[in-house]
Amino acid sequence: MDTVDSSRSQEDSLGYVHIQDVPALNQEHCKMLDPQRVERIINEFVCGGPERMQLVSDFDYTITKQRTDDGLPVLSSFGIFNECKSLPPVFKTETDKLFHKYRPIEIDPHMPKAEKIQYMIEWWTKSGELTSGFPFDQSEIDQMASKFKHALRDRTHELFETLLRLQIPVLVFSAGLGNSVVSVLRQANIMYPNVKVISNFLQYRDGLLAGFQEPMIHTFNKNETVLSGSEYYDLVHTRDHIIVMGDSLGDADMAAGVPASSHIMKIGFLFDHVEANMDKYMNTFDIVLVDDQTMDVPRALLALIEQRHQLRHPHLANGSSAPAKAAL
């Protein structure tokens, strides 16, 4: 028997994972266009182990909830900034105007993407210009963000703890405001060393705000192509097993830029206009979760990966993790 066959039969003896044996994937609101494909990818993930995994997630309404138990709305990362008291009144009126002009373009189902990109660059540029020329203290964002550290999806902490334990790099991608994203993650105690936030961060000149740092992250370049040449790219480009999570259709492309041979599992959280959006989400994401305000499905995938990992490395099963090596 050659080595390939023997490793294959070893894997078989450890067990092929069947979707019907994974309770989280059999919930009524968990939809899949092609369950066989999902099953195939799960088995690739399980065989490849944690060292080949990375997770890429959107922030707003993906790590935060789309619907809270108390019904209170959750602010987006830009929304958190906009609520800060010291912003000049003209900032609010002018950024609102921009929102009303550009948001319809961003979600226009008819305009080609290439045309939209020009408008999005215009929007983020003008927004950066408005976010300039006045003093501003990060503590204002921290105060506002603290209200939303409890608005993370149920069992987000457990998800991030597992990712840390398995040393799986996590990329939180946001075309919003990075200062708010990091503040929420920090205050929720999940800004672990394996978590990297790529977003738009405030910059200062002579003690005053001076727009956003480069590179600009907008709706249509929010993917791993913007990482090329960066330290993070070097760290993750060999990790070809990828879980992508998002709530907007565009989030499904966040892994664009990784090698074509990669196996990517796209999980989409659908909440608004379920009926009208269902077909598009089903055709875009491998798994569509309808009004699911938890992290149970990504956790179930990681649990399968971890179980197999422990079978292969029994000394890890007693809770002692692999030799400490900061993932990032």
Ligand X SMILES: C[n+]1cn([C@@H]2O[C@H](COP(=O)(O)OP(=O)(O)O)[C@@H](O)[C@H]2O)c2nc(N)[nH]c(=O)c21
Count of residues binding Mg ion (CB under 5 A)?
5
Can residue 78 be called a binding residue for Mg ion (CB under 5 A)? Answer: no
**Angle CA 222–225–228, to nearest 5:** 130
Indicate the residue among 274 and 317 with the shorter CB distance to ligand X.
274
Closer residue to ligand X (CB): 98 or 316: 98
Residue that is written with structure tokens 């603290």 in the block: 146
Give Cβ neighbours of residue 75 (< 8 Å, ≥ 6 apart).
Answer: 83, 144, 147, 148
Q: Which of 156, 248, 284, 293 binds ligand X (CB under 6 A)?
A: 248
Our finding on whether 253 is near Mg ion (CB under 5 A) is no
Whether residue 60 lies in the annotated active site: yes
127 lies in the site for ligand X, by CB under 6 A: yes
For ligand X, the binding residue among 50, 169, 176, 268 (CB under 6 A) is 176
Beta strand ranges found along the chain (DSSP E)? 30-31, 53-58, 170-177, 195-200, 202-205, 208-212, 241-246, 263-270, 287-290
In order, the DSSP letters of 287-317 are EEEET--BSHHHHHHHHHHHHHHHHH-GGGT
- Which residues contact residue 139 at a Cβ distance below 8 angstroms, ignoring those fewer than 6 apart? none
Would you say 222 or 299 has its CB closer to ligand X? 222
Token readout for 119 is: 């408008």
- Burial per residue of 216-237, b for 16 or more beta-carbon CB atoms within 10 angstroms, e otherwise: bbbbbbbbbebbeeeebeebbb
- Please give the Cα distance from 146 to 188 (Å, whole number): 8
> Under the criterion CB under 6 A, does residue 61 sit at the interface with ligand X?
yes
Identified binder of Mg ion from the candidate list 60, 106, 240, 292, rule CB under 5 A: 60
User: Closest approach of Cβ 214 to ligand X, in Å?
Assistant: 15
Work out which of 39, 106, 224, 247 binds Mg ion, going by CB under 5 A: 247
Residue of 12, 58, 142, 206 marked active site: 58
The residues in 29-58 that bind Mg ion, with binding defined as CB under 5 A, are: 58
**Which does residue 174 bind out of Mg ion, ligand X, none, counting CB within 5 to 8 angstroms by kind?**
ligand X
Catalytic residue among 2, 12, 60, 292: 60
Q: Which does 54 bind (CB under 5 to 8 A by kind): Mg ion, ligand X, none?
A: none
Does the protein bind ligand X through residue 45 (CB under 6 A)? no
Q: Is the peptide bond before 215 cis (omega within 30 degrees of 0)?
A: yes
The number of beta carbons lying within 10 Å of the beta carbon of residue 273 is 8
58 is catalytic: yes
Which tokens sit at 181?
């994203």
Residues labelled catalytic:
58, 60
Which positions touch Mg ion (CB under 5 A)?
Answer: 58, 60-62, 247
Which positions touch ligand X (CB under 6 A)?
Answer: 58, 60-61, 76, 78-79, 82, 95, 98-99, 103, 106, 123-124, 127, 174-176, 219, 222, 248
